[in-house]
Amino acid sequence: MASSPLLGYLEHTGRTHNEQSSKMKLAERIARIIEDRIVIEAWPVGFSLGREAELAAAADVSRWSFREAIVLLEQIGMVESRRGRNGGLFVASTLFDAVRNGLSNYLEFLGPTPAEIRVARKALESVMIRQAAARITDTSRAHLQTLTQAIGDDFNPGVIAAAAEVRKALLELADNTALSLFVHAIGQALIHASWYSALDDETFQSLMGAMSRSIKKTAQALIDGELEQALSWDDEFLEHFEEVFRHSAVMSGLSSREGAVERADQLFPAGRPQKKAEQIARRLRQQILESGWPIGMHLGSEADLMERFEVGRAVVREAIRSLERLGVVEMGRGGASGLRVVRPDPVQMTLASSRYLRRTGLEPAEAACVRNALEGLLSAAEPGSRHHHGNPLAETFIKILADL
């Protein structure tokens, strides 16, 4: 394996670390250094960072401390360790993808009702639409007009893709990285809700088509300078949005309809599993969701999983790693051997999200704008909530913003 550029950087910085300080604090500092280099150097997914033993030596820390640092990075899905001849430490995802995926997974774990999801999304949508309206120019108006024209009345994957481009353009107009992260995290949950949907094909397609048309009408109202009308059309979009969650195993405990995963993959090709390990991870995740995320539930040993899915050890381990990075499962050792369902770590998720937003240069005023909208949501009466303390999504987002 060729020498990794991370080795040289760790050799340069490693001597500054004090091995006498607490192990976890040291691990956090090492993790932060590696995370910083991945972001600054823009190393792509799959980039080899080197072997752990060599990297630990370069950083002048013990193998134990370095392994703790790697665990922290694995928990947010940013790196992965691979065994074998061509093994080592590799970049697993971009920082945005890692943070978005971890946050979305945690939101699903919290178990909000479909109504709570809609209300939290509405608070964010209101900020997005108002900021987009304030910043729209003749050039962006023309661009938005072109994008909306691609949303036809007939339902097909192209319409869904065109609607997604319109949403992306509105977020870019709003120019608020906290808003973008939170909206994308909820949007990721929508894809999962579609994977595990109980809706029949006709109703599902009708809902998706209606959502796309509502997005088109919202954008057109902004183009025409009609802010209140845009907010009204967005309310229509959110009603359809909630309906998808109300008929899904993700949030409503229903059984998935046969073929729902394949149907959703046609609409959201970016989420389609490309490898056998990804397919296995998705099936395990479905089992966890449809069981109500029971902490401690045993999913089987490595050998059990190999037999159940008729694959080799390497494929099973890759599937397990992807779920471990999300904080969904943990493979026990010794007497506690076997794959078990675990609780995602809210502290690591919050810290990772806050660090990401700080790196983007989020302005205090922009953070305050989003936070005020979410706090306003919590102060209002909220129908459909089963959480007496308030809206779990809004409270999570506020906590992330408070840690900036």
Q: What is the pLDDT of residues 30-54, one digit of tens each?
A: 888 898 888 888 888 889 999 988 9
Per the CB < 8 A criterion, the answer to whether 205 and 155 are in contact is yes
Note the pLDDT of residue 163.
Answer: 94
Report how far apart, in Å, the C-alpha atoms of 177 and of each of 186, 218, 358 are.
14, 21, 10
Alpha carbons 251 and 229: distance in angstroms, whole number: 30
Note the pLDDT of residue 117.
Answer: 94
Note the pLDDT of residue 382.
Answer: 52
**179-210: buried (b, 16+ CB within 10 Å) or exposed (e) per residue?**
bbbbbbbbbbbbbbbbbbbbbeeeebeebbbb
Mean pLDDT of all residues in 264-286: 82
Q: Is the pLDDT of residue 114 over 50?
A: yes
Note the pLDDT of residue 389.
Answer: 56
Note the pLDDT of residue 253.
Answer: 66
Alpha carbons 137 and 129: distance in angstroms, whole number: 14
Which fold is adopted by the domain 98-256+365-397? Four Helix Bundle (Hemerythrin (Met), subunit A) (1.20.120)
Lowest mean pLDDT, pick from 100-114, 330-344, 346-360, 362-376: 330-344
Q: Is the pLDDT of residue 270 over 80?
A: no
364 pairs with which residues across the strands? none
Q: What share of the chain is helix, strand, coil (3-state, %, to 5)?
A: 70, 5, 25
Q: What is the pLDDT of residues 214-253, one digit of tens each?
A: 999 999 999 999 999 999 999 999 999 999 999 987 777 6
In sequence order, the 6+-apart residues with CB closer than 8 A to the CB of 224 are none
* Selection from 36, 35, 37, 14 nearest residue 26 by Cα: 14
Mean pLDDT of all residues in 176-191: 95
Which fold is adopted by the domain 5-93? Arc Repressor Mutant, subunit A (1.10.10)
Note the pLDDT of residue 82.
Answer: 83
81 pairs with which residues across the strands? 89
Mean pLDDT of all residues in 186-202: 91
Confidence of residue 23 (pLDDT cuts 50, 70, 90): very low
Note the pLDDT of residue 103.
Answer: 93
Q: Is the pLDDT of residue 402 over 90?
A: yes
In sequence order, the 6+-apart residues with CB closer than 8 A to the CB of 372 are none
Confidence of residue 388 (pLDDT cuts 50, 70, 90): very low
In percent, the amount of the chain with pLDDT more than 70 equals 91
Per the CB < 8 A criterion, the answer to whether 76 and 98 are in contact is yes
The two tokens of residue 391 are 């809206």
Note the pLDDT of residue 249.
Answer: 77
Alpha carbons 314 and 320: distance in angstroms, whole number: 10
Note the pLDDT of residue 335.
Answer: 52
Note the pLDDT of residue 14.
Answer: 56
In percent, the amount of the chain with pLDDT more than 90 equals 48
Q: Is the pLDDT of residue 311 over 60?
A: yes
* Selection from 106, 108, 55, 104 nearest residue 79 by Cα: 55
State the chain's mean pLDDT as an integer: 87
Note the pLDDT of residue 69.
Answer: 87
Q: Is the pLDDT of residue 94 over 90?
A: no
Per the CB < 8 A criterion, the answer to whether 339 and 299 are in contact is yes
Map out the domains of the chain as residue ranges. 5-93, 98-256+365-397
Q: Is the pLDDT of residue 109 over 80?
A: yes
Instruction: Give SS3 for 328.
Output: coil
Per the CB < 8 A criterion, the answer to whether 377 and 391 are in contact is yes
More confident residue, 2 or 65: 65
Neighbour-count burial of 37, counting CB atoms closer than 10 A to its CB (0-12 exposed, 13-18 middle, 19+ buried): middle
The DSSP letter of residue 254 is P
Q: Is the pLDDT of residue 289 over 70?
A: yes
Mean pLDDT of all residues in 9-35: 68
Per the CB < 8 A criterion, the answer to whether 328 and 341 are in contact is yes
158 pairs with which residues across the strands? none
Q: Is the pLDDT of residue 369 over 60?
A: yes
Residue 209: phi and psi, rounded to 5, are: -65, -40
The pTM (predicted TM-score) of the whole model is 0.84
